[in-house]
Structure 1
Amino acid sequence: MKKLNVMLGAVLVAAGLTSCKTDTEMAAENKIDRYESFYDSVNNLEDEEKMANWNAIKAEHKNRLSEADAAIETMKEEEQEDAQERINDTKQKYEEMEMTVSENVNNAAANTLYVSYFGEGNGIGNDMKFEWVNKDNILSVYERFVATFDANKDNYSRQDFDKIKAWYEALDTRKNTVEKEGLTSEDNGEIAKLKLGFAPKFKWERMTAKGDENEAAKEAANE
């Protein structure tokens, strides 16, 4: 009986402490709970869903984190340290997740860009060997490459231009090998014409894109 009375007394004390919290303090705890719950809900999503909604997730994370940070200021001093640790722990886990998702997004974008230039089933975005290119198809590969660039050059970012440049140089390296495997002089001549028209055009578009992005960055910094 004495043990039961002690337990009941402890419950009453805990209830009394809870009831002493103001609405503001309870609201502050709820905001920190919301921040942790937000991370958990996003972390439980499939990778594809995270990638598809990442911009919205980043915006919502910013809001939830701001709420949680502001909530600490309304808490009792003895509770602030624990609350800050909870926020920091969740923020660290979110940043680790962000790195993974960003890498997945970049890889998916690179693969999509790669497919637009070389088609499905012909390697992936970081393929620099082009072993599937041979004397019989290399002219059509160059033709598709140049046509794809002409059709989409106004939509590329600086990073896209860097990837395209790397692929183009790797394709040229592959051409050196294919020439030794029986590339016809007719096809070689047609490829030379394509390259002659492509090189200055690509250089200009890439330089313009870099200039536009630098200008946009300056304007954003001055806002």
Structure 2
Amino acid sequence: MKKRKLFIGIAIIAVGFTSCKDEKETQAKKSVDTYVVYVDSVENVAIEDVRTNWQAIDAAYQLKMNEAETGLANLKESAAEQEKINASKAKYEDLKTKVQVDLQAASPNPMTNTKQNLRNALFGEGKVGDDMNFDWVNASNIHEVYQLFVHTAEDNKDKYTREDWDEIKLMYEALDSRKNTVEKEGLSASDNRKIAGLKFKFAPMLKVNRMGAKSEEMTKAKQ
């Protein structure tokens, strides 16, 4: 009688282990399927919506992927499930690359914005872009262009960083290069003299402030 009870007890425990193991395998397969379905669903979302909600999408993805990979340890036959995971990973990585490229393209470069804002202040809104085209400067307006440039730099000289002065120097040299062309296209002697006066004022201001900004930057770097 005792032997029979012991046998029944062992059988019950064995069934319990089997049941628990089956449940773990079922849950593991379910986590893999959930992961696969999630990746497929993200693929079908409009790219604009994916970009807008990317952080939340990626956080959910990482969670579901970890659950799926953890679940593989509870599967006897895991090769097929691993293939499913690998395929979904490849899909997601392709999507992630596209989204990151789009996000980078949509995000303005702070350095580019700073430079363009500086150019707009020195020459007027949208007059000079990345193409450094000064064809719009002619004999009729070149004096006014120099005036705006020099007076703007003078008014803001205490605010400019070293990078700003480097950009100002580059713009100044480009404007001078355009002046050489304009001189051959009918620049009046009167305007030429006025421009010479502005250049005489600006050259030492550029040199002193640019050196000062560099020195200040080096001092801060040492601190």
Could you tell me the TM-score, scaled by structure 2's length? Answer: 0.57
Q: Percent identity?
A: 26
Deviates more, 1:202-211 or 1:137-146: 202-211
Cα deviation per residue 1:133-182 (whole Å; 9 max; x = unaligned)? 23443333223223333427636583x55543322210121122334433
- Whether 2:78 is the aligned partner of 1:73: answer no
Report the secondary structure of 1:171's partner residue.
helix
- The 1:42/1:24 distance shift into structure 2, 3 A limit, reads closer
Q: Distance in 2 between matches of 1:125 and 1:186?
A: 28
Cα distance, 1:107 vs structure 2: 6.0
Q: Which residue of 1 aligns with 2:89?
A: 84
Deviates more, 1:31-40 or 1:128-137: 31-40
Q: Distance in 1 between matches of 2:85 and 2:162?
A: 44
Cα deviation per residue 1:112-138 (whole Å; 9 max; x = unaligned)? 44222211363x412434222234433
Q: Which amino acid aligns with 1:69?
A: Q
Q: Which amino acid aligns with 1:118?
A: F
Q: Which amino acid aligns with 2:198?
A: I
Within 5 Å, give how 1:117-156 maps onto structure 2.
117-120=122-125, 122=127, 124-149=128-153, 150-151=155-156, 154=159
Contact kept, 8 Å, 2:169 with 2:206, in 1: the verdict is no
Q: Which residue of 1 aligns with 2:207?
A: 200
Contact kept, 8 Å, 1:130 with 1:171, in 2: the verdict is yes
- The 1:187/1:98 distance shift into structure 2, 3 A limit, reads same
Deviates more, 1:28-37 or 1:94-103: 28-37
Could you tell me the TM-score, scaled by structure 1's length? Answer: 0.57
User: Unaligned 5+ residue runs, structure 1?
Assistant: 1-19, 44-56
RMSD over equivalenced CA pairs, Å: 4.2
